[in-house]
Amino acid sequence: MAISETAQIGIIGGGPAGLLLGELLRKAGVDSVVLERRDRAYVEGRIRAGVLENGTVSMLEEAGVGDRLHREGLVHSGTEIALGTRRQRIDFEGLVGKTVTVYGQTEVTKDLIEARLRSGAPLVWSVEGVTIENEEGEKPLLHYVVDGAPHQLRCDFIAGCDGFHGVSRQSLPAEILKTYERVYPFGWLGILADVPPCAHELVYANHERGFALASMRSETRSRYYIQCALDEKLENWPDERVWDELKLRLGPELAASIVTGPAIEKSIAPLRSFVATPMRYRNLFLAGDAAHIVPPTGAKGLNLAVSDIHYLSRALSAFYRDGSRALLDSYSDTALARVWKAERFSWWMTSMLHKFHDEDSFEARMQAAELQYLFSSRAAQTALAENYVGLPY
């Protein structure tokens, strides 16, 4: 017989989206159970992006997990775009009066886990076989297995924060689920190393050999990426070759500042844009990668998940505070309006900075014109800055 439990909210997924939702709801007096299919070590060890929008920082502060972020995070007031040997700084603070903070998603997750464990709120690791019953007019039911024992959780609402491959989106009926997707014909080869960054801010480079990005996680840990073929093999890219290619694509000035070292992580990731609609079905709500994926060029993945949680946490809090369903009913439309804007920005950055076409093609000339306009126009730079630091919620 299954072990029966109850909660107001069942949260599927113990990544940053699910954990942030749980913490915001706890502060609003709403109880939840977070179910995570991996163990704690795996979740805390996942290497992910680390550029936080202005609004994301505010949401983490609201959840009470901003202290270490402010001690260790690197505040950036701009970024650079490189085209060959030319570099143009985009001055976020000067153009739109805002900044971003470099602080790894891994660290955000650790902070949220610590907050959840300190509070004593339920966080269940190594959950298997999650299925969802979401019948009309009934409280939804989550079935799952822990250590071989079947459990069932009866709740008012389910938050599906379980990523692209999770059960939540797959639980929407096929006749109402609509998806939009763009798969890019290249990937990113990333290298993480305990070496100081080559620049004080992120540098995005458009080069004839392909895109490159100089990034960082801290003042002593750097993250670099280069555009590569989708069928590229990691074994063909020893550390030395990666460093040599980065120096070529980032240009001689930055190459002179690159400190090389052994990789502590190296991987190849495909790039895609993906959106699923709607983001709500009955009492099931999708958030984060369960509903959308963006290419990493615009640094929007984690930030877009946090904006979903902004809307969802306020909708659920309003329901339990005064019985209002208005924000719950508008959640999908409200969240998707911001999702599509972030998708547009990420698509635009990806299209502008990567090598897609033959150098003599019309498309390549348009790409060059786009970059030249960006370099020469304050209005174009303002649009980039406004989107990069994060559009308002």
Residues belonging to the active site = 76, 204, 296, 300, 388
Q: Counting beta carbons within 10 angstroms of the beta carbon of residue 99, is it exposed (0 to 12), middle (13 to 18) or buried (19 or more)?
A: middle
Enumerate the β-bridge partners of residue 222. 193, 216
Q: What is the DSSP string of 272-295?
A: EEEEEE-SEETTEEE-GGGTEE--
Q: What is the DSSP string of 147-213?
A: TTEEEEEEEEEEEE-S-TTSHHHHTS-TTT-EEEEEEEEEEEEEEEESS--SSSS-EEEE-TT--EE
Tokens of 213: 């990005």
Peptide bond into 278 cis (omega under 30): yes
The Cα 331–Cα 337 span in angstroms is 10
Residue 235, judged by CB atoms within 10 A of its CB (0-12, 13-18, 19+), counts as exposed
**φ, ψ (nearest 5 deg) of residue 218:** -160, -175
Q: Which two tokens stand for residue 315?
A: 């909708």
Non-local CB neighbours of 379 within 8 Å, separated by 6+ positions: none
Q: How many helices (H) and strands (E) does the chain have?
A: 13, 19
Instruction: Yes or no: say if 204 and 82 are a contact pair by the CB < 8 Å rule.
Output: yes
CA dihedral 290, 337, 156, 132 (to 10 degrees): -30
CA gap 206, 214 in Å, rounded: 12
Cβ count within 10 A of residue 72: 15
Q: Are 110 and 118 in contact (CB under 8 A)?
A: no
